[in-house]
Structure formats: structure tokens, C-alpha cells
């Protein structure tokens, strides 16, 4: 397995590039627009053919590279079926599998951080890793106070869906703000301070009390990401443009 974790320092976003072998097909998860040239260079150096670009959800803190990657290498752009980004070419449903040469992901609907967030399980028949977007972070969880976020749904997605994966499944989130690069389901069950030993009511109260400021880029990033990162259009404009 060829696996690269690429960090965006501005937004603390992790992007993941996966392929089964040099020379084979590749997919990328949560790419950041500013790193387009870096991704294209790496794909060329590793002799990969990028066939799928996936966003776990509509990001509010950075602009996606989905549209630029599609234009550069003609890859399929993918998000969950509930996204309002009508520019993507494929919408995945709960349980659907994404197959490229030697790599399989399974889509899991995990709302809570947003109402359209999906996670992706690597090798679902024998789970090795899960890409959780922002719903489950390392020793944390994604805020639930905008974009259809809901702390009850976040709890349900984490506890009743992600925590049913084997304990040794590696956890790769879309962000980390403390320099951690990976965790595991077992670790998060035991050590995540928002979840371990907590009731749903305690979790909901904690999430409702966070009072975080909005991300600096939110008013730019959300409309841009509804157009796959290529324009600061509203969703309605995007429908017109692509319809």
C-alpha cells in the first residue's frame, strides 16, 4: 500500500493519497487547493494515475482542490449523497464501495459535524483504517455548531458507527491541531476526553458549550467549496452554472 499524509499548515488539514502500488491508480481524500501543484508533482513522481478525488464534507476552513484536480487529471470528484456541492460527479451512499486498482473504501454516513459528512473505511472486509473527516478527531471531535451540525448526531455517528469498527482500525482525521498524525478506534474509545466515560447528554452539553469563533475563511470557503473550490459562487449560482 502506498500511503501519504500531507499537511496544510494554514488550516491544519490532512490530505491522504492512497494507491496499491507505484504505477497504479490512486485516490486522494480532502485535498487543499493551495497544494495542487504539490499533489500533481507527487503523483507524477510516484507514477500514479489519480482517478478519484474525495471530500469527506463541505469544508469551512480551507478551499478544496477537487475541481482543480478534476481539470488537471480528469479524475472523478466524489462526495456523500447529501452534499449541496452539485459540481461533484459522483455522490456516494451509506455502505457504497469505492474501488480503484487494489484499494477499496466503504462510505459510512457520519453526520454531526455537518449534516452531509461521510467517513471512509479502508478495506471494509478487514478494516485497516478509517478516514473520519471532522466528525471524529484525535482526542477530540469536530464542532457541531454550523452547517447542519448536531451534537446528538455526532455522538451517534461516533459511538454507534465508528466505534463498532475493530479497535485496531487506524483513525485518520481531516485535521489535527496538536501535531498528532493518527490514532486508533481503541485509543479513542479509551482516551478521547469528550467521549470516554461520558453519557450522550454530557457530550451534548460539552459540545454546546464550546463557543468557538467561526473559521476565518468560512464565508469564502463554504460557497467556494460548493463549486468544488473553483469560484466564490452561491449554491444557487452553482446549479445555474453547471445545469
Q: In which residue are the cell numbers 484536480 written?
A: 69
CB of 47 to Fe ion, least distance (A): 32
Nearest approach in angstroms of CB 49 to Fe ion is 28
Give, in order, the Cα–Cα distances in Å from 94 to each of 97, 151, 200, 217: 9, 20, 23, 30
Q: Which of 30, 134, 150, 176 binds Fe ion (CB under 5 A)?
A: 134
Residue 150 makes contact with Fe ion by CB under 5 A: no
Query: CA angle 103-61-233, nearest 5°?
Result: 95
User: If DSSP codes are grouped into helix, strand and coil, which group holds residue 143?
Assistant: coil
Residue 77 C-beta: closest distance to Fe ion, Å? 18
How many residues touch Fe ion (CB under 5 A)? 1
State how far the Cα of 32 lies from the Cα of 173, in Å rounded to an integer: 14
Beta strand 76-80 with 97-100 is: unpaired
Grid coordinates belonging to 191: 482516551
**Span of 68-76, 118-126, 134-142, 186-194 interacting with Fe ion by CB under 5 A:** 134-142
* Residue 55 in contact with Fe ion, rule: CB under 5 A: no
Residue (25 or 55) nearer to Fe ion, CB: 55
Q: Which grid cell sits at 157?
A: 455517528
- Measured at CB, which residue is nearest to Fe ion? 134
Nearest distance from C-beta of residue 168 to Fe ion, angstroms: 26
Q: Which is nearer to Fe ion, 19 or 132 (CB)?
A: 132
What are the backbone angles phi and psi of residue 116, rounded to the nearest 5°?
Answer: -130, 20
Residue numbers at the binding site for Fe ion (CB under 5 A): 134
Amino acid at each position: 500500500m502506498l500511503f501519504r499524509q500531507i499537511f496544510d499548515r494554514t488550516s491544519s488539514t490532512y490530505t491522504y493519497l492512497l494507491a496499491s502500488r507505484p504505477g497504479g491508480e490512486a485516490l486522494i481524500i480532502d485535498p487543499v487547493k493551495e497544494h495542487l501543484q504539490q499533489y500533481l508533482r507527487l503523483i507524477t513522481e510516484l507514477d500514479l494515475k489519480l482517478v478519484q478525488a474525495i471530500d469527506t464534507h463541505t469544508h469551512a476552513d480551507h478551499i478544496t482542490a477537487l475541481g482543480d484536480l478534476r481539470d488537471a487529471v480528469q479524475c472523478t470528484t466524489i462526495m456523500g449523497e447529501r452534499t449541496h456541492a452539485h459540481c461533484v460527479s459522483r455522490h456516494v451512499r451509506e455502505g457504497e464501495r469505492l474501488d480503484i486498482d487494489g484499494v477499496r473504501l466503504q462510505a459510512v454516513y457520519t453526520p454531526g459535524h455537518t449534516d452531509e459528512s461521510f467517513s471512509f473505511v479502508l478495506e471494509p472486509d478487514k478494516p485497516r483504517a478509517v478516514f473520519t473527516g471532522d466528525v471524529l478527531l484525535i482526542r477530540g471531535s469536530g464542532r457541531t455548531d454550523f452547517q447542519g451540525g448536531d451534537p446528538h448526531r455526532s455522538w451517534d455517528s461516533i459511538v454507534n458507527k465508528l466505534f463498532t469498527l475493530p479497535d485496531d482500525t487506524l483513525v485518520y482525521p481531516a485535521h489535527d491541531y496538536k501535531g498528532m498524525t493518527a490514532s486508533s478506534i481503541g485509543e479513542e474509545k479509551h482516551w478521547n476526553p469528550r467521549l470516554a466515560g461520558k453519557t450522550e447528554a454530557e457530550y451534548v452539553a460539552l459540545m454546546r458549550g464550546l463557543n468557538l469563533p467561526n473559521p476565518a475563511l468560512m464565508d469564502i470557503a463554504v460557497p467556494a467549496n460548493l463549486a468544488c473550490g473553483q469560484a466564490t459562487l452561491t449554491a444557487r449560482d452553482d446549479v445555474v452554472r453547471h445545469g
